[in-house]
Structures are given as structure tokens and as C-alpha cells.
Amino acid sequence: GYTKEEQMEFRAIIYGNILQSALAIIRGMEMLAIDFGSSGGQEDAQKLQNLSDSIEEGTMPAELAEVIKKLWKDSGVQAAFDRAAEYQLNDSAGYYLNEMDRICKPEYLPTEQDVLRSRVKTTGIIEEQFSCKELHFRMFDVGGQRSERKKWIHCFEGVTCIIFCGALSAYDMVLVEDDEVNRMHESLHLFNSICNHRFFALTSIVLFLNKKDLFEEKIKKVHLSICFPDYDGPNTYDDASNYIKTQFLDLNMKKGVKEIYSHLTCATDTKNV
């Protein structure tokens, strides 16, 4: 768990995530040509933009909180939120925006769930050290974005284990860096290059296909064939997730020598992880 001091440190991150999510939805409305449902929606959106330019980063003044809550109730904003796969929006947006009344109280202390859903982009290499059952671990978190990869791929020759995280729910989404490239395809491409890289010939790989909770909801509405045109199986959670898992495992060119341990995960569920 987190200490109270550690939880408090996440307030600024969470406030920043909320503001960026609200701005992203407004940009999404413009891109998708969705109109505001209320007559004052456009004015509120302009107010949001003006406030975002003037407030101290990582704060949530009452005036900003009120305009975000007002916009979140707008039918046009909700319509754009439902089409979030067509633009860039944090997975946590709906969670935080639905919790605005609680989060914006002066005495707000982030809960464990609030912390787990927060997002800070990883740049460079971040090291964490910890011990478990008399074993000492050094864990390195590296940026997955294209611009970050060249910083770390050469640093890890001889590591004991690689944990590769891919988002199940990203099958209908595109990259931030390139809106022509599907995120799942890019994840498979990166996994292929790591799994079969000479640096990692003897390295164990644990594959975490994450965000299974979001995937379970999305697969009810968006067919997997949007990402894999050859897929003609049932569009159910079990069948679709197993198909995705197989796409990753089939990339292993040394199946007889190298084992990949795969798991479907939900990082915000502490019982699962």
C-alpha cells in the first residue's frame, strides 16, 4: 500500500490527468464534428481552455472543477467520450470525471484506486529496487513510445527476465505518435523485436496482456476484426482474448528453447496483480 504522504503526492498527477482528459474530449468533439448538447457548451469549452492556460499545473481551482463537471454532463461531450477510440484519451478519463465531486473536495486524499489509475508518461529508464522472500530485485521501467526505445534496448543484455505489457483494449486504437498505426499491431511488432532479439536469447519473458476489464466491455461493441481482418471467430471475451494471446505467442521463433509465460491482467485490480 501507500503511505498518506505518498498518496498526497498523486493529487497533482490526478488533477493533471483530469484536465488533460477534459481538453482531449473537447478536441475530439471538434475532430468528430460533434455539437454541444447545451447552448452554453461552447462558452464552457472556451472557459476550460482559458483556465487551463492560466492555472498552476497540477491544481484544481473550484472554478475549473465546476466547468469540467458542467461539460461532463453535456450530451455532446458524452457522445465524444463514447467514441474515444477515434482520438487520444486516457483510459482513466471516465473514472476520474465520474468522481469529480469527491476528488475536488479540499480534504481529498487519493484512494488506492485513484493512484492505480493515474498516468505519468515514462521517459528514459526508471529503476526500482525491492526484496521479496530473501531475493533482491532490480526492476527497470522503460518508455514504450517509439522515441524512447532507442534509449534502452542496448542496456539490458543479460537481464534475468523481461515483463512485456500490452493493452488488450488497444485493438481499435492508434498510436499517439502516428495516427496511421494501430496500437495492437505496434505492440506485436515491438514484442517480436524483443522476443527474438539476440540480447535476449536466454531471457525469460512474462507477457502481461493488460486492461482485460476494459477489453471485456469493448469487445461487446467493437469486433476484433477491426484489428485482425482474418479473425472470424465468436466476438466473445474468451475467444477474442485467446486469439490475441496466440498472435503474441506465435511470434516466438525459439518455441523449443524459450518459454513465454502469458497472463491476462487488470493492473487496477490489486487481487489480480
Q: Among candidates 139, 140, 166, which has minimal Cα distance to 151?
A: 140
What is the CB neighbour count within 10 angstroms for residue 162?
19
Per-residue pLDDT at 174: 86
Q: Report residue 164 CA to chain centroid gap.
A: 14
The 10 Å Cβ neighbour count of residue 208 is: 20
The torsion of the CA quartet 55, 103, 218, 191, rounded to 10 degrees, works out to 70
* DSSP string computed for 37-82: SSTTHHHHHHHHHHHHHHSPTT---HHHHHHHHHHHT-HHHHHHHH
Is residue 14 a contact partner of residue 2, using CB atoms and an 8 Å limit? no
**pTM to 2 decimals?**
0.78
Annotated binding site for GTP: 91-92, 116-122, 141-145, 210-213, 267
What's the pLDDT at 272?
67
Query: Given this model, what pLDDT does residue 129 score?
Result: 85
The predicted pLDDT at position 3 comes to: 86
Give the burial string for 18-51 (b: 16+ CB within 10 Å, else e): bbbbbebbbbbbeeeebebeeeebeebbebbeeb
Q: Which domains, from first to last, does the chain contain?
A: 4-117 (1.10.400.10), 156-264 (3.40.50.300)
Residues flagged as binding site for Mg(2+): 122
What pLDDT score does 125 carry?
76
The helix/strand count (H/E) of the chain reads as 11, 5
Joined grid coordinates for residue 94: 471516465
pLDDT at 207: 96
Helix axes of 183-195 and 237-249: crossing angle, nearest 10 degrees: 40
Q: What is the pLDDT of residues 210-269, one digit of tens each?
A: 999 999 999 999 999 999 999 999 999 999 999 999 999 999 999 888 889 999 999 888
Query: Which residue ranges are tagged as binding site?
Result: 91-92, 116-122, 141-145, 210-213, 267
Cα–Cα distance for residue pair 69/19, rounded to 1 Å? 11
For residue 142, the cross-strand partners are: 125
Which residues in the chain land under pLDDT 70? 122-124, 143-151, 272-273
In angstroms, the CA 273 to CA 268 distance is 8
